Amino acid sequence: MAEQLRLMAVHAHPDDESSKGAATTAKYVAEGVDVLIVTCTGGERGSVLNPKLDRPEIWNNIGEIRRAEMDAARAILGVEQAWLGFVDSGLPEGDPLPPLPEGCFALQDVEVAAGALVRLMREFKPHVVTTYDEDGGYPHPDHIMCHKISVAAFEAAGDPERYPDLGDPWQPLKLYYDMGFSKSKVTALHEAMISAGLESPYAQWLERWEDREDKGPRVTTRVECGEYFPVRDDALRAHATQVDPDGFWFHVPMELQRRAWPTEDFELARSLVDSPLPESDLFAGVRERAHAC
């Protein structure tokens, strides 16, 4: 019998799992893959981004509310989920930037913080791990720290000499970075909206693109998952404090999204199996090994 396939997606805050790679995780759940979402922080210092919920009673209980939102999103996606237990660092603003709060996730020692993730990797035994790239996908200190501990844990989990008290060694086979919105993807969605006679929410984004790196050339793996875009959006709406249901993310009609860009895109950052590029499956090269077990 083939070994059960397992995917671990490591995210910084509750809601990140629903805005980054959610359709991919829903697709693999539907195919019978075990998926574990790891949430590094509780989102305690997050803002209330839905104007309909911008009230003192929400702000005063934001940590508890965001955990409840994560419960709802987890059920929609059909995944398992674990908290690493670190405290949200917040997004510093101002010039100069203020110091990060004492004890927050971004100020943890990487080697120490990675241990919590090593323990989970050895318990869950993922074949594939996804996380963010070196700038966190965007430069939030928690996203950058999430990248750092994910890479460190991926490299340490299989080494019996590292973290010897955190369980039997387990080596994941592939590590991916979520690539999110490349310039080619934004352009495709923008042009599809214009062709349909609709106002594009991406016009200003494209005008400012010269100030951003285009990560499109780094994409190695495109997962066809348009069928699961509605699941992704339902999970994102479950994070009601973090997204306006009438806002930017939901302006592009579903059928247009599926036609213009039906994939979620990733960069293969580490691999211990043979999987020729480009890929269409995060488990390329892994399935063959699992079937041989």
Q: Give binding residues for Zn(2+) as ranges.
A: 13, 16, 143
Closest CA to 103 of 91, 86, 120, 81: 86
Token pair belonging to 226: 């348009």
CA–CA separation, 237 vs 226, rounded Å? 18
Q: What is the DSSP letter of 127?
A: S
d(CA 6, CA 3): 9
Burial of 3 (0-12, 13-18, 19+ CB in 10 A): middle
Binding residues: 13, 16, 143
Per DSSP (E only), the strands in the chain are 6-11, 34-41, 80-86, 128-131, 174-178, 221-224, 263-271
Radius of gyration of the chain (CA): 19
